[in-house]
Chains A and B, each alone.
Chain A
Amino acid sequence: MTPTPIPDTRAYALTALGLLCLSCLTLAAHLHTRWAWVRRAPLLGVHVLLMGLLIVSAGMLLGPAAVVLPVPGHPAGWWGLPAGLAVGFALGLAIIRTDRAITTSWRGPSPRPTAPRPPRMTAPRPAGFAASGTGVSERRRTGLVRARNDYAPTDGDLRVRLELLVAVAIGEELVFRGLLTRLALLFSNGWLVAGALAVVAGVFSCSHVFFGWVQVLAKTPLAVAACAATLLTGNVLAAVIAHVVFNVWVWRYRRGEPRRAPGPRARRTPV
């Protein structure tokens, strides 16, 4: 840890920042399923807001440049910016091809039309006037009872505006390649740095698990390539541009898909 006048506060703050950054999409999903007033906003909007708060906190804690230039004293200097621009576009196009190859290699034939979703066989809970004065009305419904780890994206969550997808790409790269890379580089031991960078890339891939296991595999090349580009150029521009190019492709892909009637919540193309 970098020595400061109050080292324990800094260590606690960096730990909290690291944990919250690693789990920001899960936390957004938790908040989104927990409170109705949060549910009015799109999930990705909550995600972007959360990432914005984390980036502002990181700027206050580590300095404003730390998120954008995560490798301190990088030899590329300002030349890293044009290099990042060129590398970012090339990387984005390569990642689109890789992602599509992985996703299509796992995809089977188109699904047959399915029957409507079966009703859940659970006992009805009295509500409103029927519940007043009964034991049910006196019981608090708790988190695990509501099963809050079962979030699955709906069509509404994925059919989002281009601006939001671009904001997600920028925010995720600033958090994962900017902030978390900077935190990983704070370790003094080379093996610990390598391990921390691998954990960051792994957690970034795993955060796409809501879209299905195949998306975890499909997002691994993006995570590794964006991390490598950040370390090579010393800034997050390459990673940001590559992710933005990829998300624009996802947006075009989603826009080209035929709209379906409301039915079973199927897992869809990732963001």
Chain B
Amino acid sequence: MSTLPWPVRAVVLAVLVVLYYRYAKAALFAACRRAAHLLPFARRWDASERGSVLELMAAGASHVLVVLLLVLVTGVDLTKLTLGWDRPDLIVLGAAIGVGEVALGSLLCRVLIEGIQTIGMRRAAAESSGSRVRPASAAGAVAGEERMRQWLGRSRGGWIRHHLKTMEVVSLPLALTLTAVQVGSEEVVFRGLVLTWLRDAGPLPAIGVSCLLFTVMQIFLMSSWRAAMFPVVGAIVMGLTHSVLFWHYPALLPLMVAHVTFFLFAVA
């Protein structure tokens, strides 16, 4: 399939991403929630916790299968990609990049939330009184904090829930391993395979397609756009940074470390 023009290859990738991340994962998670009731740890973990751990395990295992499928479809030789085991300096810098990404992502999220809330308050005030807006009262600040907490509460749903629950209930090494398999596979798919397969299209189309698919994938299985805001903003920051780095220096391991660090800093 490598002889196809790059727009057709991009469409093939988009179809595969939607099929797996939207439909296959939804079916898989539904099966995991049903299977959770059959597990024998009812006294220790409730059904939601068992289901979340199962979901993360299933997501990691299915992701590895999807990587294999994409290797067959794209014909990209993964063994030729530099992993980066021999570059500890890049791995340490990858962790620093992950911390920077999560901090910048949360700043941008906060800006969006404050902006949306301010617009909502101005609109509500204009509708109720038709007079000048009064945004700076102490009661308003308290209400704003509560709204912020509610917003953060919504962002714990969807696919983020199985990362949170797993981190809460299983041992830290196991939770780390499950998270690393899941997010490491995402790096292989969206940086290793997509960017390598579309390399002949040039940097702008290849990085654009990779970032777009990576960002859209975050929205699937989230309950609302408010809940999806954190993953989407984080994906834009991370997608751009990792894509540009991988385009110039194609080493996967430092980017996987950055992705895992991002998750740990946000969730752990």
A and B together in one complex:
yes
Pick from A106-114, A124-132, A171-179 the stretch touching chain B.
A106-114
Give the number of residues in B that approach A within 8 Å (Cβ atoms).
59
Whether a CB of chain A sits under 8 angstroms from the CB of B24 is no
Report B2 CB to chain A, min CB distance, Å: 26
Q: Is the CB of A150 within 8 A of B148?
A: yes
Q: Is the CB of B142 within 8 A of A27?
A: no
Chain A neighbourhood of B141, CB < 8 A: 152, 264-267
A26 touches which of B106, B132, B139, B241 (Cβ 8 Å):
B106
A residues 235-271 touching B (CB-CB < 8 Å): 263-267
Q: Is the CB of A139 within 8 A of B136?
A: no
B residues 111-170 touching A (CB-CB < 8 Å): 111, 114-115, 117-118, 132-142, 145, 148-149, 152-153, 155-156, 160, 164, 167-169
Chain A neighbourhood of B140, CB < 8 A: 111
Whether a CB of chain A sits under 8 angstroms from the CB of B213 is no
B132 touches which of A11, A108, A117, A144 (Cβ 8 Å):
A108
Q: How large is the interface on A (under 10, 10 to 19, 20 to 34, 35 or more residues)?
A: 35 or more
Q: Is the CB of B265 within 8 A of A143?
A: yes
Known: A19-B97, A111-B138. A206 touches B111 (CB 8 A): yes
Q: Is the CB of B136 within 8 A of A108?
A: yes
Output the nearest chain B residue to A150 by Cβ-Cβ distance: B148
Whether a CB of chain B sits under 8 angstroms from the CB of A67 is no
Whether a CB of chain B sits under 8 angstroms from the CB of A140 is yes
B residues 58-82 touching A (CB-CB < 8 Å): none
Complex CA–CA separation, A271 to B249 (angstroms): 40
Whether a CB of chain B sits under 8 angstroms from the CB of A3 is no
Q: Is the CB of B167 within 8 A of A19?
A: no
Whether a CB of chain A sits under 8 angstroms from the CB of B110 is yes
Q: Is the CB of B142 within 8 A of A265?
A: yes
Report A15 CB to chain B, min CB distance, Å: 6
Whether a CB of chain B sits under 8 angstroms from the CB of A142 is yes
Q: Is the CB of A265 within 8 A of B145?
A: yes
Q: Is the CB of A12 within 8 A of B94?
A: yes
Whether a CB of chain A sits under 8 angstroms from the CB of B107 is yes
B134 touches which of A11, A23, A108, A140 (Cβ 8 Å):
A108
Report B56 CB to chain A, min CB distance, Å: 13
Q: Is the CB of B99 within 8 A of A27?
A: yes
Q: Is the CB of B142 within 8 A of A264?
A: yes
Complex CA–CA separation, A263 to B137 (angstroms): 13
Q: Is the CB of B168 within 8 A of A9?
A: no
Known: A12-B90, A16-B96. A216 touches B111 (CB 8 A): yes
Report B158 CB to chain A, min CB distance, Å: 12
Which of B45, B93, B133 has the most chain A CB atoms closer than 10 A to its own CB?
A: B93
Whether a CB of chain A sits under 8 angstroms from the CB of B101 is yes
Q: Using a CB–CB distance below 8 Å, which chain B residues touch chain A?
A: 44-46, 87, 89-90, 93-94, 96-97, 99-101, 103-104, 106-111, 114-115, 117-118, 132-142, 145, 148-149, 152-153, 155-156, 160, 164, 167-169, 172, 241, 245, 248-249, 251, 254, 265-268
Closest 3 CB pairs of A and B: A19-B100, A108-B134, A23-B103
30 A-B pairs with CB atoms under 8 Å apart are A8-B90, A8-B251, A9-B87, A9-B90, A12-B89, A15-B97, A19-B101, A20-B96, A20-B100, A22-B107, A26-B103, A106-B135, A108-B134, A108-B137, A111-B139, A112-B137, A135-B44, A135-B46, A138-B44, A142-B167, A143-B265, A144-B155, A144-B267, A147-B153, A203-B107, A212-B114, A212-B136, A265-B141, A266-B137, A266-B141
